[in-house]
Each structure stands twice: as C-alpha cells, then as structure tokens.
Amino acid sequence: MNVDAFELLATAILLVDPQGHVVYANTAAEDLFSRSRRQLTGQPAASLFDDREQLQSSIDQGLKGIFADARQLSSLRRGGESVTVVVTTVSLSGQPWPVLVEVREIEQRVLADRNHRLIDEIETHRELLRNLAHEVKNPLGGLRGAAQLLEAELPDPSLAEYTQVIISEADRLQALVDRLIGPQRVPLNAKPVNIHEVCERVSALIQAEFRDGVTIVRDYDASMPDVPGDAARLMQAVLNVARNAAQELVIQAPGDDVPAPQITLRTRVARRVMLAHRQHRMALVLSIIDNGPGVPEQIRDRIFHPLVTARPGGTGLGLSLAQDFVQQHGGIIEFESRPRHTEFRLVLPMEPA
C-alpha cells in the first residue's frame, strides 16, 4: 500500500501499529487535529479522541481482525472546541500497519452544502436589487436635474434651501444605487497580495476610527504565502467585516460582565477546501473574531443579504459587499456567533479564481 495516495484525500487517515500507536498521518489529519505529523506520530490513536475507551476497544478488535471495519460517532478537541466526527476503524491484512483509522468531520459536508445554498440565495437577492437599482437610477437623475432647474428660477434665494434638500437626497440615493450595482462593473485587478499587509492597514484604520475603544489582537501564520487577488477589494471586504464588529462592540451596554472590546485577526492555511463547487488544494482562512454580544438570532439567516441590518442607522450593505468581493475571488465568508464569540471567516482559494 502506497501512503502517498492518502495525501490526495480530504479525509483524515491514521495508520496504527500493533501497539495502537500512530505511525502515519496524512495532511488532512494534520488539519483536522490541528497538529503536525510529527506531533501525531507515536501518539496512542485512541488518545486523540474524547471517548478514548470506546475507540481503544475498536482498535483492539481491529488489531485482532475481529471485524473488517467498524464505524462510530466520536468527538475530539480542536482549538478549545468539541468537533463531532465519524470514525471508521479498518482492519488490514498483509500490510505493515494492522489498522487504518479514517476520521471524517461530519460538519464539512453540511457546511459545504450550506455555503452553496448561501451563494445561490445571495445571488438571487443581488440580481433583484440590481434590476431595481437600474430602474431607480434614471428617475433619480431626472429628479435632481429638475430640482437644479427649479432652483435657478426661484424668485426668492432663501427657497433654495428646499431644492438643496431634494438635490442632496437624490445624491444620497444615487450613491446607494451605485454601491448596489457597482461591484460588478470593474473586473478584478488580480495580483499577489500579502494578506497580512491588508490586515495591518485595516487594523490602522479601525484604531484610528475607534481610538482606544477597541483592542486589535493579531494571530498570524507567518508562513502564509501571498494569495492572488485584488488588494483593494480584499481590503474593503476585511474592513467592512472588522468595522461592523467594532461598531457592535462600542454600542454594547457597559456592565460588570462585559469584557473590554477586542477584535482578533487570525490567519491560517486550510487544505482540501470545497469552494463554489470546486475543491481547492489550499485556501487562506482569515478569521475576524470579536467578543461582542453576537449576531441577533432574527437576522442570522439573512445577514449577508443586502439592506439587512440590526444596527440603528446601518445601511445593511457592508457585509453584503464584503461577501460579494470575496465571492468574486472564488471564496466565501462563513460565520458562527454566540455571546462573547463571533467569528467571520473569509475563505479564499490560493489558486487564481
């Protein structure tokens, strides 16, 4: 059996020796357990899971050749969180390794399906708004022009105050329309982008805007290569998400149980990632994490839809445009939220979109 073939799999594979210790782990296993191959090798395979005794029993039976394969639900700890997995223990014969353990995170397929549905749903709403924006644009121009002509004919200059209101409101709506239809007009200016430089520029802007109100924490993977993309749009996407987090942090009601506002920017490399119905060998995961109150339950399913917001005075376009910019790069923005931990993950392929 050639172990090189296991490197092509998105499923975590562990090869176990007669003593029940890991002698080989593929790249997917490194990602799943958040440990290097060197750290996994030599570990008792059952010790990698929460229900160690149950897994040890399956491995022992596999070593004795009592069954061909056995499948069971289990869980493991990753980054302080519990991850539910399906573990298949396979008994091997005629191989240097008597047992193969396959570990699959059951959330991966669910997440991929959810992302596909999200992309299709957002595109439907976006197309509807684009059509509406085009219908609104021409009447707005006529309204503004008529107000300017009316202002020139007014007998009393003090009445120009009212025409200026019409003109300024028409300009505001024009800017809103342009933001709704604008991202699709210009093709990507794709070049190698250092994502940490983008993060640093966003950090500087957030700190300048919110002063000492929000603390920025950096957790970068120093080995992160450049990613192909449009630096301006990627920066705008990151800024929109980070600013949205900062705005939520500064408006939360102070109290004894409210921690100091903090945003963490974290970068990691993920492998074998499914994006837009296509599997990518490697992807960048940029996480923007805040310790705020969390996303309101009533808008979670629609948070990336245009014009959806729970913040007074918000336009509901920041996250929608961020999702649009990331999708133009062949990626997606995911999120999970609970009180004191909201995480938006910008997932971008390392290969050109």
Q: Following DSSP, what letter does each residue of 243-265 receive, concatenated?
A: HHHHHHHHHSPP-TTPPPPEEEE
Q: Is the pLDDT of residue 58 over 80?
A: yes
Name the residue range of residue 121's domain: 110-184
Mark whether 75 and 152 lie in a shared domain. Answer: no
Could you say which of 80, 107, 134 is where a domain stops? 107
At which of 107, 124, 153 does a domain end? 107
Give the C-alpha separation, 144 to 190, whole Å. Answer: 37
Using CA atoms, how far apart are residues 252 and 119, in angstroms rounded to an integer? 31
Residue 15: what pLDDT? 94
Q: For the residues 232-243, what does the mean pLDDT come to? A: 92
For the domain that residue 252 is a member of, what is the CATH number?
3.30.565.10
**Residues 167 and 206 occupy one common structural domain:** no
Per-residue model confidence (pLDDT) at position 293: 83
Look at residue 154 and tell me whether its pLDDT is greater than 70: yes
Give the position of tokens 């390392």: 350
Task: Check whether residue 25 and residue 76 sit in a common domain.
Answer: yes
Please give the share of the chain, as a percent, with pLDDT higher than 90. Answer: 25
**Residue 11 sits in the same domain as residue 72:** yes
Same domain, 294 and 344: yes
Whether residue 199 is predicted with pLDDT greater than 90 in this model: the reply is yes
Summarize the confidence of residues 21-34 as an average pLDDT: 92
- Residues 213, 312 share a domain: yes
**What span, in angstroms and rounded, lies between the C-alpha atoms of 288 and 95?**
45
Residue 269's pLDDT band (cuts 50, 70, 90): confident
Residues 6+ apart with CB under 8 A from 338: 294
Could you tell me the CA-to-CA distances from 352 to 184, 191, 228 in Å, in that order? 18, 9, 6
Say whether pLDDT at 175 is over 90: no
Task: Check whether residue 99 and residue 133 sit in a common domain.
Answer: no
| pLDDT of res. 122 | 64
Report the distance separating Cα 333 and Cα 48, nearest Å. Answer: 30
Phi, psi of 91 (to 5 degrees): -85, 125
Q: How far apart are CA 313 and CA 16, in angstroms?
A: 58
Is the model's pLDDT at 322 over the cut of 90?
A: no
- 101 and 121 share a domain? no
Please report the pLDDT score of residue 314 as a whole number: 62
pLDDT of residue 141: 80
Name the pLDDT band for 237 (thresholds 50, 70, 90). very high
**Nearest-angstrom CA–CA distance, 276 and 182:** 22
- The residue with greater pLDDT, 18 or 276, is 18
Residues with Cβ within 8 Å of residue 347, at least 6 apart in sequence: 270, 273, 275, 283, 284, 285, 326, 331, 332, 333, 334
Closest to 148 (Cα-Cα) out of 156, 160, 138: 160
The pLDDT assigned to 62 comes to 87
**Structural domain tally of the chain?**
3
Q: Which of 184, 219, 238 is the last residue of a domain?
A: 184
Same domain for 248 and 282, yes or no, is yes
CB neighbours of residue 113 within 10 Å: 11
Report, as an integer, the average pLDDT of 92-116: 75
Is it the case that residue 140 has pLDDT exceeding 90?
no
Q: What is the DSSP string of 276-315?
A: TTEEEEEEEEEEEEE-SS---GGGGGGTTSTT---STT--
113 — pLDDT class (breaks 50, 70, 90): low
Residues 220 and 341 in one domain: yes
Beta bridge partners of 340: none
Rounded to two decimals, the pTM is 0.58
Which of 36, 39, 33, 42 is CA-nearest to residue 15?
A: 42
Cβ neighbours of 202 (radius 10 Å): 24
DSSP 35: -
Confidence of residue 182 (pLDDT cuts 50, 70, 90): low
Q: Which range among 10-24, 180-194, 196-210, 318-332 shows the weakest confidence by mean pLDDT? A: 180-194
pLDDT confidence of residue 335:
84
The pLDDT value recorded for residue 120 is 66
For residue 100, the domain's CATH number is 3.30.450.20
- How confident is the model over 25-49, as a mean pLDDT? 91
Token pair 């709506």 in the structure block, residue: 173
| pLDDT of the residue at 312 | 64
Q: How confident is the model at residue 41 (pLDDT cuts 50, 70, 90)?
A: very high
Separation CA 256–CA 246 (nearest Å): 20
Q: Are residues 262 and 298 in the same domain?
A: yes
| Same structural domain, 236 and 307 | yes
Q: Which amino acid is at 288?
A: I
- Residue 12 has a pLDDT of 92
Higher pLDDT, 95 or 102: 102
Closest to 68 measured CA to CA, from 106, 103, 98, 44 = 98
Q: Say yes or no to pLDDT of 191 above 70.
A: yes
